[in-house]
Structure formats: C-alpha cells, structure tokens
C-alpha cells in the first residue's frame, strides 16, 4: 500500500504522454478557425465526452467525495437539474447558435444588441472563468502536493510552497499542448482524460468495496439519502439549504442553462460541431453521463465514510474534507493502481484548465482584439496573437490559483460554483432577453445585466442564500430589469 516509485513513474509518464498526444492531435494550425473551432469538423460524441471532462475538473474528483463524506447523497438532486437545463438549452439556445457563422457565444449578443453588449458580456465571462477555474486549479494541487511532499527534496518545504510548485507543473504541461494544438488538442485529450479519470474512480470504488465486507451495511439511514424535499424547514432555512429537491432541480437547471448555454468554455465546443442535431446529441448526452458520474463520486464519499468508521476529519488528521480522497489514494490504494488513479485525477484537472485557456483566448481574440485591431492586423498574425493570449491567460490562472492557497474556506466545489453563479444569472438573463423579448434594446440589456450581477454580488457577500438559488434569482433580476427598462423607455418616447 501507499505511493511508491512505480506510481511516480506512472504519473510522470501520463503527464508526458498527454502532452505529446495533445500536440499530435492538434495537428498544424493554419488560422484562428482551426485554432478555436477545428473548422467545425469535430464528431459530436467526442464533444460530448469533452464537455463532461471539461465541467468535471478536480473539484468533482476530490471535493464531491469529501462532500458526501460529511453529508450524504443529496447533491445528486442538482445533477437532475443539470439534465433538465441541457434539454431546455437544446430547444431555446442551440438553434440560435446554429444560425449564422458564430465564433463565440457573445457574438450572438453582439448581433442581437450591439458591440457594447458583446464586449461587456465577454469581459464578464473572462473574469468569472479566471476566478472559478483558479479555484479548480488550486484544487488540483492538493493531491499533487501530497505526492511531492513524500519526496525527500520537499520534506522540509512549507506546504504553501509545495502547492505553488504543483500548480506550476500542471499549468506548464497543459499549456504545452493547448498552445500548440488549439481546440482539437483540447477536445481529443479531453476524451482520453475522461476515460482515465473515470477508470481511476471505478478502481478506487472496487478497492474500497473489497475492503468493506459489509458493503453499505451499518451506515446511518440518512447517509444514503438522495431526495430531500426541504418542506419541513422554515422559510429562511429552506432558502439557506443548497440541496433540497426544489433547489436542486431549479438551481441545477438554471446553472446548467447558464454554464452550457452562455459560458464560452462549453459553447465553444458546441460550435465545433457542424450540425444542430449533433450539438443537441452532445449536450444532452453529456447530461446523462454527468448524473452517472456524480453518483459514482458521491458513492465514493459514502464508502470512504464507511472505511474510516465515520471518524471526524480531525480524528484522521485532516483539516478539510477535500483531502479525504487524496489521503486514501496515497495511503491505501495498491501500488500501480494508485498511480493510475492520481493520473486520472490530474486528467480531470488538465481537461478543465486546457478548455479554460483556449476559450479565454478565443473570447479575447474574437470579442476584443479583432474588432479593435482592424487595420493593425497586418503587423502580426491572428494565430500568433491567439497563442500569446493563451499564454497570458494561463499565467493569470496560475496567479489566481496561488491566491486561493491562502484563501480557502468550506468545500472548494461550492466556492467555485458560487463564484460562477454570481455572474451566470446576469448572462443567462441577457441571452433570454435577446431571444424572448424583441423590444429590448442594447441599453436595456446592459442595465439589466449590470443590475443583476451587482445585486448577486451583494447576495454572495452578505446573505445566507444557498448558492443553488443564485442563478435563478440573478436570471430573474436581469431579465426583469431589462424588460422593465425597455417598457419605461418605450412609454417615455
């Protein structure tokens, strides 16, 4: 048991292999359409798997089992909402994306409202993505830092410095193939990485079950609870509880509509598919896989609870639930398999990071640089600018991840989702205004967008409202304010 030399070689070999595969799969990049959209020739099934891998990240791998360890399976209710949201997107938003020659999600807003709305929404996406994925990158460093700490060279190094080294290692390797291969490299490495991390999770579950002759026997009754109506709570308690059935279905649906319908990191993948039917298959198929995947990681947390005899985190020498699964991997998984599982964990992280870097660069180039450059584009190629943007965004993500080393509270998965949800409501509200309210103009949309985000920022910092309610509330505010502003402007005209 425990992590040994063989496991270190397996992890190092995986990191090298995925970088090589990414560069080869990316092929030669001729222009920005190649680099960011793969010329619309990516198969829908590959995109389906890439969507799952991109939204999974290390937070799912380590934080969801930790969440189940200290709570139960109630989080699964949110994933039911994820599937509902994807179905709604397929009906409302995907047809709009399939019309015209779109290169980013925010070009749709620009075509509908004007260039101001396009640039504003793109900038908000960038800010949100950097902070949310900065948390995810930091989460990735937790298990890698545990491994590095086992080397003699790091035995006397402070934990914070080990985290920094781990973050930089992952970022450099991921940047290598993202920089060179563009979105094709990102998607095809995502496909490989999805099967690697799922294989690692299944392997961990098998090891846990083999060490628990009684299986789930003896667990507290509520530990396997999936559905919680929440109707037994007071009104304030109901809206403060994130994992009730209404919060899960409604919050999960709105979150999925925003993250998969307005966030360019996912929309970019859908734009690489030539047909509307293919995009719908990829999106809805990913929702089904996500439910099964979250069920697996939640069950892992319950099995860990059984394995450690229901001990508190303090009793097993931990300060945060996010460390429970990495601890089990490093200390309890047989040699060889533990290396494969850690490789899977890193795969989950790198898939999200590569997608984030490429989508941020895409939005920067198409929404900000090209409309501004115009005549200046002869001095340097668009593809070179795209790669420079990838490099700069990766560096910024590393900086934000390092910031979160000293700022860490609660479950990392909830922190990342909360950050994203603050702005997601505003984005979704504006997209819905553009599709459903034809009388709304650019000024109305911008006012609704900014008011929605501003109010949600106050909610995030000064209320007990559960994060699952953020997107429904933010969407309602942005849509309502934009629609009302248009009505008032029309009456006063």
Residue with tokens 């990240």, as numbered in its chain? 57
> Alpha-carbon distance 157 to 163, whole Å?
10
The domain locations on the chain are 5-409
Closest CA to 325 of 140, 6, 61, 2: 61
pLDDT of 149 strictly over 70: no
Q: Residue 379: its pLDDT value, please?
A: 47
CATH for the 5-409 domain, from 3.60.20.10, 1.10.12.10, 1.20.1730.10, 3.40.50.1860? 1.20.1730.10
CB 361 within 8 A of CB 213: no
Q: Is 217 helix (H, G, I), strand (E, B) or coil?
A: coil
pLDDT of 441 strictly over 60: yes
**121 vs 413, residue with greater confidence:** 121
Q: Is 41 helix (H, G, I), strand (E, B) or coil?
A: coil
The strand ranges marked E within 40-92 are none
Q: Where are the alpha helices (DSSP H) in 337-441?
A: 337-363, 370-373, 382-406, 412-436
CA dihedral defined by 91, 93, 95, 99, rounded to 10 degrees? Answer: 170
Q: Is the pTM of this model over 0.95?
A: no
Residue with tokens 């933010």, as numbered in its chain? 474
Q: Is 315 helix (H, G, I), strand (E, B) or coil?
A: helix
CB 69 within 8 A of CB 331: no
Confidence of residue 219 (pLDDT cuts 50, 70, 90): confident
Indicate the average pLDDT of the chain.
88
Least confident of 87-96, 144-153, 160-169, 427-436: 144-153
Confidence of residue 214 (pLDDT cuts 50, 70, 90): confident
Question: How far, in Å, are 230, 382, 388, 395 from residue 391 at the CA level?
Answer: 46, 14, 5, 6
**pLDDT digit string (tens) for 454-465?**
999 999 999 999
> Alpha-carbon distance 245 to 468, whole Å?
11
Residue with tokens 């850690």, as numbered in its chain? 342
Closest CA to 26 of 140, 185, 164: 185
CA dihedral defined by 206, 210, 216, 218, rounded to 10 degrees? Answer: -160
**pLDDT digit string (tens) for 228-253?**
999 999 999 999 999 999 999 999 99
**pLDDT digit string (tens) for 28-80?**
777 888 889 888 889 999 999 999 998 887 778 888 999 999 999 999 999 99
CB 140 within 8 A of CB 351: no
Q: Is the dihedral of CA 132, 136, 142, 148 positive or negative?
A: negative
Highest mean pLDDT among 161-165, 177-181, 369-373: 177-181
pLDDT of 432 strictly over 90: yes
> Alpha-carbon distance 169 to 171, whole Å?
6
Confidence of residue 94 (pLDDT cuts 50, 70, 90): very high
> Alpha-carbon distance 253 to 266, whole Å?
15
Q: Residue 256: its pLDDT value, please?
A: 96
Q: Residue 134: its pLDDT value, please?
A: 85
Closest CA to 192 of 182, 200, 202: 200
Angle, in degrees to the nearest 10, between helices 159-210 and 382-406: 80
What are 238-246's contacts with CB under 8 Å, separation 24+?
Answer: 239/464, 239/465, 239/466, 239/469, 240/464, 240/465, 240/466, 241/466, 242/414, 242/466, 242/467, 242/468, 243/71, 243/74, 243/75, 243/77, 243/78, 243/468, 244/74, 244/77, 245/77
Q: Measure CA 414 to chain center.
A: 12
The strand ranges marked E within 102-208 are none
Backbone φ and ψ of 340, nearest 5°: -65, -40
CB 476 within 8 A of CB 483: no
Q: Check residue 334 and report its DSSP letter.
A: P
> Alpha-carbon distance 455 to 478, whole Å?
10
Least confident of 59-73, 134-148, 300-314, 468-482: 134-148
């Amino acid at each position: 048991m425990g992590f040994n030399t063989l496991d270190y070689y397996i992890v190092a070999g995986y990191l090298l292999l995925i970088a090589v595969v990414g560069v080869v799969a990316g092929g030669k990049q001729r222009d920005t359409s190649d680099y960011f959209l793969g010329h619309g020739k990516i198969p829908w099934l590959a995109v389906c798997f890439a969507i799952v891998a991109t939204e999974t990240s290390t937070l799912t791998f380590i934080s969801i089992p930790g969440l189940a360890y200290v709570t139960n399976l109630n989080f699964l209710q949110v994933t039911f909402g994820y599937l509902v949201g994807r179905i709604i997107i397929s009906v409302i938003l995907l047809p709009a994306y399939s019309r015209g020659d779109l290169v980013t999600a925010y070009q749709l807003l620009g075509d509908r409202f004007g260039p101001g709305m396009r640039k504003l929404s793109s900038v908000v996406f960038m800010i949100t993505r950097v902070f949310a994925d900065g948390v995810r990158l930091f989460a990735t460093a937790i298990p890698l830092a545990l491994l590095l700490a086992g080397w003699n060279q790091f035995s006397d190094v402070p934990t914070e410095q080990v985290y920094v080294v781990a973050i930089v290692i992952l970022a450099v390797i991921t940047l290598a193939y993202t920089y060179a291969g563009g979105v094709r490299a990102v998607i095809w490495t995502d496909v490989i990485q999805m099967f690697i991390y799922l294989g690692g999770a299944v392997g961990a579950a098998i090891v846990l079950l083999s060490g628990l002759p009684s299986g789930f026997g003896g667990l507290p009754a509520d530990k396997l609870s999936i559905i919680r109506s929440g109707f037994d709570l007071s009104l304030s308690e109901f809206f403060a509880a994130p994992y009730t059935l209404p919060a899960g279905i409604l919050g999960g649906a709105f979150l999925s509509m925003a993250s998969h319908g307005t966030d360019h990191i996912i929309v970019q993948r859908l734009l690489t598919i030539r047909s509307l039917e293919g995009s719908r298959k990829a999106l809805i198929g990913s929702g089904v896989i996500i439910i099964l995947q979250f069920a697996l990681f939640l069950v892992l947390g319950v099995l860990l609870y059984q394995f450690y005899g229901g001990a508190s985190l303090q009793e097993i020498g931990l300060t945060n639930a996010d460390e429970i699964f990495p601890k089990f991997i490093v200390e309890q998984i047989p040699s060889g398999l533990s290396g494969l599982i850690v490789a899977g964990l890193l795969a989950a992280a790198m898939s999200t990071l590569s997608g984030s870097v490429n989508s941020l660069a895409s939005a920067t180039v198409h929404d900000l640089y090209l409309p501004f450059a115009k005549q200046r584009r002869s001095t340097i190629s668009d593809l070179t600018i795209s790669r420079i943007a990838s490099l700069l965004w990766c560096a910024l993500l590393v900086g934000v991840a390092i910031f979160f080393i000293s700022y860490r509270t609660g479950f990392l998965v909830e922190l990342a989702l909360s950050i994203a949800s603050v702005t997601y409501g505003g984005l979704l509200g504006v997209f819905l205004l553009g599709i459903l309210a034809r009388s709304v103009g650019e000024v109305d949309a911008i006012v609704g967008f900014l008011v929605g985000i501003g109010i949600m920022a106050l909610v995030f910092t000064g209320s007990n409202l559960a994060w699952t309610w953020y997107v429904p509330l933010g969407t309602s505010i942005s849509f309502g304010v934009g629609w009302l502003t248009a009505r008032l402007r029309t009456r006063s005209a």
